[in-house]
Structure 1
Amino acid sequence: MKIGLFFGSFNPIHVGHLIIANTMAYTTDLEQVWFIVSPQNPFKKNKGLLHEFDRLTMVEKAISDNYQLKASDIEFSMPKPSYTIDTLTKLAERHPTHEFKLIMGEDNLVQFENWKNYDKILEYYELYVYPRPNTPDHHFKNHPKVKFIEAPLLDISATFIRNSIKAGKPIRYMVSDVVEEYIRWKKFYL
């Protein structure tokens, strides 16, 4: 089974994430897309990050009606910060019959050489890359393991959503209704 892995903090998961995952699941050769909820991104500060289980719950709520999308807590039991290469290794050991592909935005591809063991990731895994606005040029354009996928060009930011909540502004249509209800009920990001 071909599985696309979509890593992120999903703080909160928003329609941009859902559209990309759905596009990958239904327009490529991927059979499923797994959201890998990261407890801590090595490149981001932890400030304002909800507890990992709250973020996992939001992902589960957002995708509950789509059998091709799954939520994973695999990194919750791993050393922090979590590195993609370590997660890929653990997933490959756990699911030896699956073929994993890494989903990422083109903006992350520009920084890809800064990732731990990025060369090993490219050696063993294919990257499915979706466009991001204002991405500078990079030398991965013609790499045989990098596959560019046509997807909507979205610029929706979790930071913008969190700031909107803090300012008392609406977030309708930026997150799914069930996620908005959960955020309001739990009084997140206030």
Structure 2
Amino acid sequence: MDSGGTHLRDMTIDDCEAVARVRVRGWQSAYAGMIPRAHLDAMSVEEDAGRRRAHLVGSAGEGAGRDVVAERDGQVIGWGCYGPYRDEGKPTADAELYALYVLPDHRSTGAGRALTAQLLARAAADGHPRMLLWVLTENVLARRFYEKAGFVPDGTEASFDVRGVAVPETRYARRLSAADAAAVRRG
């Protein structure tokens, strides 16, 4: 699918290094001041690419279409993925937006909006009633982005530990609809 100069497609095994670069650079840029600098500096594209490969190989079939890349001029500039929401480790009927990242120099170009719309559409087409996501509570830009996409905080908060620092998160939710599902375009 082409959306305003951004081409969206299913992620392949050949995209693992490019997606890892998007994710690592995304973390290092978006989470500066929110995640300990030592953790951000230690992130490795090579290690992350290995995790992406293992994920794609391990989810062959069941994960098809859940990882989507955004390209411009043949370069991967963004990536997002979703799957079943896990409540205490058990899948629920809801979907979860696990990740959404765009290279820092491609933010505010529509790539993130296009990825979000595509992932919402796919989750709705898969029959999920809602999509949930976790966002760093301090990440005002991401919170504003998700709110513009129709997500609202649902009152659930948690934190995770990064190098001994508690990082608070806020959960957001959005109902999925038939109109969302009708927007699915693959390839």
With the shorter chain as reference, the TM-score category is 0.3 to 0.5
Higher strand content, 1 or 2:
2
Please give the TM-score of this superposition, normalised by the length of structure 2. Answer: 0.33
| TM-score of the aligned structures, taking structure 1 as reference length | 0.33
